[in-house]
Chains A and B, each alone.
Chain A
Amino acid sequence: MSKVRYYVLRTLQTVFMLWLAATLLFILFRSMPGDFTDRMLFAGADPAAVEAFREDWGLNDPLYVQYYRYITNLAVGNAGVSLEYRVPVIQYIRMRLFNSFILIAPGITFAYLLGSLYGLLAGMKRGSIIEKYGIIPIIFLGAFPSFVTAIFLIVIFASWLGWFPTGGLITADTRRLFADAPWWRRYLTGDFLWHAALPFTAVVCRYLFLPSLIMRTSVFEVQGQGFIFYNRITGLPAVNRLRHIAKHASLPVITLYPVSMTRAIGGLVLIEIVFNWPGIGAALVDGVLARDYPVVQFVFFLIAAFIIIANYAVDIIYGIIDPRIAVEGE
Chain B
Amino acid sequence: MLNRIPILSRVSEGFSNAGNHYAIRNFRNALGKMLDSRMTMVYASFLVFVLLLGLVGPWIAPYDATDRIRGEDGELLRGEPPSLDHPLGTTEVGYDVFSRMLIGARPTAISGLLGGTIIITIGSLVGITAGYVGGRTENVLMRMTDLVYGVPLIPTAIVLIAFFGVGFIQSILVIAFVLWRGSARVLRSQVLQIKEREFILASKATGTSTPRIIMKHIFPNVATMAVMFFAIGVGYTIIIQAGLSFLGVVDPFVPSWGVMMRNAYASGQVGNYWWWSIPPGLMIAFTVVSTFMFGRSYERISGGGDDEGAMVQAG
Report which A residues bind B (CB closer than 8 A): 17, 21, 28, 32-33, 136, 139-140, 143-148, 151-152, 154-155, 158-160, 166, 210, 213-214, 217, 256, 259, 263, 265-267, 269-270, 273-274, 281, 284-285, 288-289, 296, 299-300, 303-304, 307-308, 311
Contact for B292 among A143, A281, A285, CB less than 8 A: A143
Are B285 and A154 touching (Cβ within 8 A)? no
| Cβ-based interface call for B187 (8 A) | no
Contact for A152 among B152, B248, B281, B293, CB less than 8 A: B281
Contact for B261 among A147, A266, A300, CB less than 8 A: A147
**B248 (CB) vs chain A CBs: closest residue:** A289
| Cβ-based interface call for B315 (8 A) | yes
Those of B60-94 within 8 Å (CB) of chain A: none
Contact for B155 among A32, A147, A213, A300, CB less than 8 A: A300
Q: A145-B242, A263-B315, A300-B159 are in contact. List 5 more A-B contacts (CB 8 A).
A: A146-B243, A155-B277, A210-B312, A266-B154, A270-B246
Are B292 and A151 touching (Cβ within 8 A)? no
CA distance A200 to B156 in the complex (A): 24
Are B242 and A269 touching (Cβ within 8 A)? no
Instruction: State the Cβ distance, A62 to closest chain B Cβ, in Å.
Output: 23
Contact for A269 among B164, B247, B284, CB less than 8 A: B247
Are B243 and A270 touching (Cβ within 8 A)? yes
| Residues on the B chain within 8 Å of A143, using CB | 235, 239, 285, 288-289, 292
Q: Which of A140, A148, A213, A217: most chain B CB closer than 10 A?
A: A148
| Cβ-based interface call for B272 (8 A) | yes
Contact for B271 among A155, A263, A269, CB less than 8 A: A155
Contact for A139 among B153, B289, B315, CB less than 8 A: B289
Contact for A160 among B158, B248, B264, B271, CB less than 8 A: B271
Given contacts A33-B163, A151-B281, whether A256 and B158 have CB atoms under 8 Å apart is no
| Cβ-based interface call for B46 (8 A) | no
CA distance A262 to B152 in the complex (A): 8
CA distance A155 to B277 in the complex (A): 9
With an 8 Å Cβ cutoff, the count of chain B residues facing the other chain is 41
Those of B238-281 within 8 Å (CB) of chain A: 239, 242-243, 246-249, 261, 264-265, 270-272, 274, 277-278, 281
Contact for A145 among B162, B249, B274, B284, CB less than 8 A: B284
Given contacts A214-B312, A256-B312, A289-B162, whether A304 and B150 have CB atoms under 8 Å apart is yes
Instruction: State the Cβ distance, B233 to closest chain A Cβ, in Å.
Output: 14
20 contacts between A and B (CB under 8 A): A32-B163, A139-B293, A140-B285, A143-B235, A145-B242, A145-B285, A155-B278, A160-B274, A210-B311, A266-B152, A273-B246, A281-B155, A285-B249, A288-B159, A288-B163, A289-B249, A299-B155, A300-B159, A304-B152, A307-B152
Interface of A is mostly: helix
In the A-B complex, the 8 residue pairs with the closest CB atoms: A159-B271, A266-B152, A148-B281, A143-B289, A288-B162, A144-B285, A143-B288, A145-B239
Those of B137-156 within 8 Å (CB) of chain A: 150, 152-156
| Cβ-based interface call for B306 (8 A) | yes
| Cβ-based interface call for B198 (8 A) | no
Contact for B150 among A17, A152, A166, A273, CB less than 8 A: A17
| Cβ-based interface call for B308 (8 A) | yes
Given contacts A210-B311, A213-B308, whether A147 and B159 have CB atoms under 8 Å apart is no
Are A274 and B265 touching (Cβ within 8 A)? yes
Those of B282-315 within 8 Å (CB) of chain A: 282, 284-285, 288-289, 292-293, 306, 308, 311-312, 315
CA distance A266 to B164 in the complex (A): 20
Given contacts A145-B242, A259-B312, A269-B155, whether A166 and B162 have CB atoms under 8 Å apart is no
Are A151 and B265 touching (Cβ within 8 A)? yes
Contact for A308 among B150, B288, B292, CB less than 8 A: B150
| Residues on the B chain within 8 Å of A289, using CB | 162, 248-249
Those of B220-248 within 8 Å (CB) of chain A: 235, 239, 242-243, 246-248
Given contacts A146-B243, A159-B270, whether A269 and B277 have CB atoms under 8 Å apart is no
Are A147 and B246 touching (Cβ within 8 A)? yes
